[in-house]
Structure 1
Amino acid sequence: MSKSLWGALGAVLFAVVVAVGAVVVTRAASAPPGAAAPGSSDVSPAASSKSSVPEGDSADAGFARDMAAHHQQAVEMSFVVRDRTRDTDVRRLAYDIANTQANQRGMLLGWLDLWGLPKVSPPDAPPMGWMGHSEHGSGPKPKEDGLMPGMATRAEMAALGRADGKQAEIQYLKLMTVHHQGGVAMAQGCAKQCTVPAERALAQGMVDAQQSELELMAGLLKERGAKPGA
């Protein structure tokens, strides 16, 4: 296995460890007054107060909803390519992305449950609109079809499902590169704007892991005589 692949897998493992720790921290922050947090004997009043629960239109809630949807497509895309190629490196990358992002998606949706907030944004809410409501900038613009930045269209997903072998590998790596770029931008927004420490930590872990995977995918594309982009 190449050093770049080991590096990317290490970054993914780090993100999973951060995410597991995030669940414990969030459960502590969401516990009712007087309740003991998992693995501890006490919870501070500040951590257990109702004020620690994010509002429905906050960056914390918006990131949880949008990244959960963003991750879902990455999981679907990864399972598609896993069955369309025999290449060990691409199949391993796809498995790692699917496994990691499925776990993270479960945590994000779990937080929304703990906070008592809807898991789906209102129909009139712009994709990633929460990134434009603070001093940190306007955030990335949604695509013309209303999809969040980085997400593949139905036509692109269908084309991936029809491809085989090297063609499927290249299509997947290109689509996932764009997908990660959109995901990194969103996670960077949460790392700056979210107020729940556990969620900020998870978001930063996503940034670090996906940036490493972007480097890995660039190398895999180069090996196949291709490069990121159309």
Structure 2
Amino acid sequence: MILAGILFHQWADFSWAVIFFGLLQRWTAQLRPRTLALIAVPWALFTSGTEWLLLVPVLPFAQPIFTLSQPYWIGALVHVSAAALYPLFPYLRDWMANRRPSPHRRVAAGWAGGAMVVAAGLGLLAFLGTQDREWPPHPGRNVEFDQAYMRRMAAHHAQGIELGLIAVERAEDPHLRALARLIVANQKGETEIFANWWRSWFEGALPQATPEDHATMPGMLRPEDLAELAQLPAGSFDARFIALMTFHHQGAIAMADQAIREAGTIRLRLMSHAIRHAQRGEIELMQGREGFGATRAAIANMLRPAGEVLADGALGAERPPRALSGLREAPAAGHLH
């Protein structure tokens, strides 16, 4: 599934390159590398915005999960990295036409060399991360808050995973089961990132949340809530799961919002923004959001302050779930491009 997600990303980026150099060749075919370098970022922002705002809601195979789970800036960065290679096109065009030596060979060599250096640097950072040596290290600001936040969010995710696994087994709506699998995969992945960062920044394993942490975590459910959910008759399960998971997500959103303001490292702030957006989106998906309604909700989710999240998802709510037809089976990788 992860490979399928990667291939889908590559197909989308290749398609935009075909449009740029194929359909628009009347204007783009003769552009010089430096001009292409100037155009690359605006083009990347245009294409990523077109996907995120327009194509996903209207294409027959599109999924609202794309905009509701993936913040726009993630897709924009992917598009920028792909468009950054466009200045190589003039040299490749000359090479395919057997025009040698190409007048663009020096620029192409320098640009390709720079891209290789960046790729090698990112690869080195990724390797250091696998060795529990994240670089740069934690800057040392608000260390106590960051440690408490990582412990608390990991414990919060552990309960979310437990809740999601119950729905994977018991949900009647197949789309709700697919969403539950996605929630479990997302929260397992995020917990592993927290554990890796802890080993790199503070040494040792990510510790369990303290009693004080549990006392201050919003959205946590009682053990009897989960036990009751697991024993509910089939006809009552989906509505109760949506109510419980919405309540649980609202707590994580409030915690993430605080970390966006107070975390001592930009990595925790970015991670928290992604968590907040994804969990707000999952609440929308549980309410059956799709089409342009999903786009509007995704934009609102990025801008809406914490606490303003589907007030009808309170813990005690016992209402039938809306149609979940907008959610299809999603790859385990989670974010589609």
TM-score (norm 1): 0.67
Instruction: Give the match's secondary structure for 1:204.
Output: helix
The CA deviation at 1:13 is 4.5
Amino acid corresponding to residue 191 of structure 1 in structure 2: I
2:206 to 119, 131, 142: 119
Instruction: Give the match's secondary structure for 1:6.
Output: coil
**Contiguous gaps of at least 5 residues in structure 1:** 22-35, 42-46, 128-141, 221-226
How many angstroms apart in 1 are the aligned matches of 2:286 and 2:261?
26
How many angstroms apart in 2 are the aligned matches of 1:122 and 1:70?
9
Q: State the partner residue of 1:228.
A: 313
How many angstroms apart in 2 are the aligned matches of 1:182 and 1:208?
13
Q: State the partner residue of 1:205.
A: 274
Q: State the partner residue of 1:175.
A: 244
Task: Tell me the matched-pair count.
Answer: 182
Quote the RMSD (CA, aligned, Å): 3.3
Q: State the partner residue of 1:66.
A: 152
**Contiguous gaps of at least 5 residues in structure 2:** 1-55, 79-119, 126-133, 290-311, 317-337
Tell me, yes or no, if the aligned pair for 1:85 and 1:166 is still in contact at 8 Å: no
The CA deviation at 1:209 is 1.2
How many angstroms apart in 1 are the aligned matches of 2:257 and 2:189?
19
TM-score (norm 2): 0.47
How many angstroms apart in 2 are the aligned matches of 1:154 and 1:183?
18
The CA deviation at 1:53 is 4.6
How many angstroms apart in 2 are the aligned matches of 1:123 and 1:213?
28
2:168 to 82, 85, 94: 82
Deviations 1:149-174 (A, max 9, x none): 10111000101111243311111111
Residue 63 to residue 168, structure 1, CA distance change in 2 (3 Å): same
Residue 40 to residue 216, structure 1, CA distance change in 2 (3 Å): same
Q: Percent identity between the aligned chains?
A: 24
Tell me, yes or no, if the aligned pair for 1:160 and 1:168 is still in contact at 8 Å: yes
Tell me, yes or no, if the aligned pair for 2:142 and 2:264 is still in contact at 8 Å: no
How many angstroms apart in 1 are the aligned matches of 2:279 and 2:209?
28
The CA deviation at 1:48 is 5.7
Deviations 1:17-64 (A, max 9, x none): 69xx9xxxxxxxxxxxxxx964259xxxxx96766256652x222111
Tell me, yes or no, if the aligned pair for 2:164 and 2:180 is still in contact at 8 Å: yes
2:263 to 194, 198, 219: 194
Instruction: Give the match's secondary structure for 1:195.
Output: coil
Amino acid corresponding to residue 61 of structure 1 in structure 2: Q
Residue 51 to residue 157, structure 1, CA distance change in 2 (3 Å): closer
Instruction: Give the match's secondary structure for 1:201.
Output: helix
1:7 to 58, 61, 64: 64
Matches within 5 A, 1:212-223: 212-219=281-288
Tell me, yes or no, if the aligned pair for 1:84 and 1:163 is still in contact at 8 Å: no
How many angstroms apart in 1 are the aligned matches of 2:223 and 2:244?
12
Instruction: Give the match's secondary structure for 2:64.
Output: helix
Instruction: Give the match's secondary structure for 1:186.
Output: helix
Residue 186 to residue 213, structure 1, CA distance change in 2 (3 Å): same
